[in-house]
Amino acid sequence: MTDQYEFTMLSAALADGSAHIPCSFEVFARRLPNGRRYGVVAGTARFLEALTRFRFGPAEIETLAAFLPTKTLEWLESYSFGGDVDGYREGELYFPGSPVLSVHGTFAECVVLETLALSILNHDSAIASAAARMANSAGTRPLIEMGSRRTHEEAAVAASRAAYIAGFTATSNLEAVRRHGVPGAGTSAHAFTLLYTDADGPNEKAAFAAQVRNLGVGTTLLVDTYDITAGVANAVEVAGTGLGGVRIDSGDLGVLARQVRRQLDDLGAKETKIVVSGDLDEYAIAALRAEPVDSYGVGTSLVTGSGAPTAGMVYKLVTVDGRPVAKRSSHKESRGGAKAAIRTTRATGTAVEEIVYPVGSTPVIEDGLDAIDLCRPLVRGGVQEPSLPGLDAARELLAQRLVSLPWEGLKLSQGEPALSTRFVEAPA
């Protein structure tokens, strides 16, 4: 899971001893995608877990032996990260230039982590950032993540996890249930209704009866395989007015939700919930706010980051032997030096500004403002810090942080970041 150039750089640096110089690398995003107002950090815990497993066994060494000298192979065989990592917590907001993750150690031990750190943080943060906008659009209505089939099979599991951090209620992905403890959800697809087709043609009632027998009347029946009005009538006829829910997966969801709500109420199924799904994104969810929808199933747009499938974070060398370094060529300038960050807030809790400052200095905080430390110790001397916050803590943190944003920050429209980032220069 590593790019070849990390090893060719490593080899060259091992050859002349530069590999052992102490360095700091920093992960940050130059901008937020598509005029978004905030980003959401996710993937940090997955990165830390991957870091403990980041070793080079015989199979990997064999591949690398094709182009690397013995000295490099020996170094890799005994590789184990022994440095420090600091970073934003999962569920924390980030803005352009926020030092989301900082990795400190020798050049050699840090340089080989570029692809691993970026793959995980770019993917998971992209999903969480899109998911938070959806959750915000949904308000108190539950959101079910059901996008596994629209993305790589392993990415799907990570996407479920990131969506849960961002406020989704449950996932259809059972490996995410097993691996990360995300609550599971799911009832049936059109295939199940179609299965109940015999010589006399489709028999929707038989399908509904089979599902209710198996899952109880609290289940959700998918009513749009044939005709929605007939489907709703069949569903209530089979399950009774105590039916848990009906799902609509196609058509104009607003119009259909109103029509189905009226029909359910007329049939006496006043407590039966309406679940909608089918090409929903944050805008479609927001457009359904006034409609009698009880929960949403979201697939494609969630796992593809709703137009921003990657967070665009980069991993840059910022100090060499204590000296700040930075690329200078056009358009992609970076700020050198190891950095930390605080976020100032008013007494009301509203966030004011992100302040990024050189590690070791103390940023000046305006009178009357409080400050939140954003960069937390994650790894010390190669050992993960004890009792790092888990998935539910990340979910709670984000919920708090979204409340702290100035209100323009929650707008779906394109605009400037909700908080500006101020960079404090290193003292001369």
Residues 394-423 that bind a second copy (CB under 8 A): none
List the one residue from 44, 98, 122, 125 that touches a second copy (CB under 8 A).
Answer: 122
211: closest CA among 195, 230, 226? 195
SS3 call for 320? strand
CA 269, CA 236: separation in Å to the nearest integer?
7
Tell whether residue 65 is a contact of a second copy (CB under 8 A).
Answer: no
Of 7 and 355, which CB lies nearer to a second copy in the complex structure? 7
Residues 179-198 that bind a second copy (CB under 8 A): 184-192, 194-198
Tell whether residue 9 is a contact of a second copy (CB under 8 A).
Answer: yes
Tell whether residue 23 is a contact of a second copy (CB under 8 A).
Answer: yes
Residues 349-388 that bind a second copy (CB under 8 A): none
Of 171 and 272, which CB lies nearer to a second copy in the complex structure? 171
Dihedral of the CA atoms 276, 279, 280, 283 (nearest 10)?
-140
Cβ count within 10 A of residue 368:
8
Q: How far is the CB of 225 from a second copy (least distance, A)?
A: 5
Tell whether residue 168 is a contact of a second copy (CB under 8 A).
Answer: no
List the one residue from 22, 202, 292, 382 that touches a second copy (CB under 8 A).
Answer: 202
78-86, 88-96, 111-119, 131-139 -> range binding a second copy (CB under 8 A): 111-119
Tell whether residue 309 is a contact of a second copy (CB under 8 A).
Answer: yes
Of 279 and 408, which CB lies nearer to a second copy in the complex structure? 279
String marking each residue 229-258 x if it binds a second copy according to CB under 8 A: --------------------xxx-------
Of 8 and 400, which CB lies nearer to a second copy in the complex structure? 8
Of 347 and 428, which CB lies nearer to a second copy in the complex structure? 428
CA 73, CA 279: separation in Å to the nearest integer?
48
SS3 call for 28? strand
115: closest CA among 69, 60, 66, 47? 47
List the one residue from 98, 129, 148, 263 that touches a second copy (CB under 8 A).
Answer: 148
SS3 call for 220? strand
List the one residue from 73, 150, 233, 359 that touches a second copy (CB under 8 A).
Answer: 150
Does the CA dihedral 373-378-381-383 come out positive or negative? positive
Tell whether residue 178 is a contact of a second copy (CB under 8 A).
Answer: yes
Q: How far is the CB of 27 from a second copy (least distance, A)?
A: 10
Of 238 and 342, which CB lies nearer to a second copy in the complex structure? 238
List the one residue from 102, 119, 137, 169 that touches a second copy (CB under 8 A).
Answer: 119
CA 352, CA 372: separation in Å to the nearest integer?
11
Extract the tokens encoding 68: 């690397």
Cα R_g (the chain), whole angstroms: 25
User: What are the residues facing 198 on neighbouring strands?
Assistant: 201
Of 33 and 167, which CB lies nearer to a second copy in the complex structure? 33
Residue 292 CA: distances (Å) to CA of 144, 251, 273, 289, 295:
17, 15, 9, 8, 9
Helix ranges (H only) for 361-390 are none
The values of phi and psi at residue 214, to 5°, are -90, -35
Extract the tokens encoding 220: 């959700």
Q: How far is the CB of 282 from a second copy (least distance, A)?
A: 17
List the one residue from 173, 234, 295, 344 that touches a second copy (CB under 8 A).
Answer: 173
List the one residue from 210, 233, 286, 371 that touches a second copy (CB under 8 A).
Answer: 210
34-42, 81-89, 110-118, 235-243 -> range binding a second copy (CB under 8 A): 110-118
Of 158 and 419, which CB lies nearer to a second copy in the complex structure? 158
Does the CA dihedral 207-208-210-215 come out positive or negative? positive
Tell whether residue 228 is a contact of a second copy (CB under 8 A).
Answer: yes
Is residue 332 classed exposed, middle or buried when 0-12, 13-18 and 19+ CB atoms within 10 A define those classes?
A: exposed
List the one residue from 49, 227, 392, 416 that touches a second copy (CB under 8 A).
Answer: 227
Residue 13 CA: distances (Å) to CA of 7, 17, 72, 204:
10, 6, 10, 68
CB distance 17 to 311 below 8 Å:
no
Q: By rule CB under 8 A, what count of residues binds a second copy? A: 107
